[in-house]
Structure 1
């Protein structure tokens, strides 16, 4: 599962880093250390120029709503946001299968959070708290997750701009990440990016598998329970926590 993450990427710098076109219209992106579902997030896609299938494929930086809205949805607010998609079933789920064939993306982040239920410090009544852990690369490099995206047009306002939305693929946790949560986001190493993003390919099942090398580069640390509330934001959320403070009830949305 991946329901909260941190990012310091700005679209202009990301476009330079990936030799991509910045289509967000934003020169600078404020860092967000507590990204939650329904937030607008940066994604990387690869597409031909609009209406020209013979034009060269270019990487493009786009902002999308985190929580995929299928093209057939009547109202994006009527159900819980589809912010994760299980890689094992994504090819057969109506909400995701079309995106898997035609609209795949990367979701860049600095790291992500998971929670464990642990006994409250000093509590003798058997109460438990949600304790947050942060997963990021030990070398500080950005992580790119496999994602899917969709285009939704409001049937009540057909002339309005479409809503772009995205979801992050998850898979069974492996290696040290299995000690934190049974599921993990699917990290895509750079050697899989082109094949994953290729708009002229239907994708390949071999791409949807954990990279043991990418997972081995991830470090885990306990962090402040302040991240449990989406109202809190800032680099202090990533500071190692000594575990003496009690966790707080997690609030995803």
Structure 2
């Protein structure tokens, strides 16, 4: 699964890299958080966690302008998909990821897969590797966080889906609180090397796939399924980072710093399979 990632770019950078027509990240939106988001939504976040609002790229016709052409928009959406038919927003906590192998058939995702696809920009993602040799104080395999990013330095574009949930308790349709817009990240089998960290990884689309993936008029599920096929391996680099990232209260660029080999315990090198750091 993908349960944490780094969204380190600001809206101006994302607008340029993803060829966005309309930056809507300053618009008021409904959040599910009890306390204010930290760092604030729309600013660089090195430890993006479920239920936070994150920048997402999607293509839509501007509201109230049916004659206008669809535009590529940058919006702040809540991570954790809430289907339109949900009785309340709590479903989103369980739906942060959707499996590429079944996303076109499952009722919770199928309609969004046909018409509401998005890109989730990220510097890269975190995943925890269970050590085959080292254990924690409770005798369980010690878990080492890794950070994975594109080797070419470009942003990752996670394939995602989004949904609108209407709160029946809010009478005014134009009230931002009436609508909760959420997203999920699609995952696929981890490629060779990365599978030594975890058996799943986000489905990362390349720039030549973006237009089709974002096109709301592309409803042919056969074609959509072709976009869900994993790309050839070798695009990513991965390295161990501090366990500080395990706390969703930790943030800042230091979370991306490589962990010195002297601090590793029973860590498997993703590229070679070598065990680093012993067991003590």
Matches within 5 A, 1:53-202: 53-77=66-90, 80-118=93-131, 126-159=139-172, 160-161=175-176, 162-202=179-219
How far the C-alpha of 1:241 sits from its partner, in A, is 1.1
Supply the distance in 1 between the matched residues of 2:113 and 2:191 (Cα, whole angstroms).
Answer: 23
Matched, 1:22 2:42: no
Matched, 1:13 2:13: yes
CA contact (8 A) 1:47 1:59 kept: yes
Counterpart residue number, 1:251? none
Counterpart residue number, 2:245? 227
CA contact (8 A) 2:3 2:96 kept: yes
How far the C-alpha of 1:50 sits from its partner, in A, is 2.1
CA contact (8 A) 2:23 2:74 kept: yes
In structure 1, the gaps of 5 or more residues are: 248-253
Q: Secondary structure of the equivalent of 1:100? A: helix
Change (3 A) 1:243 1:60: same
- Please list the CA deviations of residues 23-71 of structure 1 after superposition, one character each: whole Å capped at 9, or x if unmatched: 1117x94211111100100100011222444422211001000000000
- Please list the CA deviations of residues 117-168 of structure 1 after superposition, one character each: whole Å capped at 9, or x if unmatched: 2268697984432210110012322110100000011011142421110000
CA contact (8 A) 2:187 2:201 kept: yes
Deviates more, 1:56-65 or 1:126-135: 126-135
Supply the distance in 2 between the matched residues of 1:193 and 1:96 (Cα, whole angstroms).
Answer: 19
Deviates more, 1:105-114 or 1:137-146: 137-146
Matched, 1:33 2:46: yes
Q: How many residues align?
A: 244
CA contact (8 A) 1:5 1:33 kept: yes
Counterpart residue number, 1:238? 256
RMSD of the TM alignment (CA)?
A: 2.3
Change (3 A) 1:158 1:95: farther
Question: TM-score, normalised on structure 1?
Answer: 0.88
Deviates more, 1:190-199 or 1:72-81: 72-81
Matched, 1:210 2:211: no
CA contact (8 A) 1:133 1:220 kept: yes
Q: Secondary structure of the equivalent of 2:186? A: strand
Question: TM-score, normalised on structure 2?
Answer: 0.80
CA contact (8 A) 2:80 2:92 kept: no
Supply the distance in 2 between the matched residues of 1:55 and 1:125 (Cα, whole angstroms).
Answer: 60
Q: Secondary structure of the equivalent of 2:59? A: strand
Q: Secondary structure of the equivalent of 2:90? A: coil
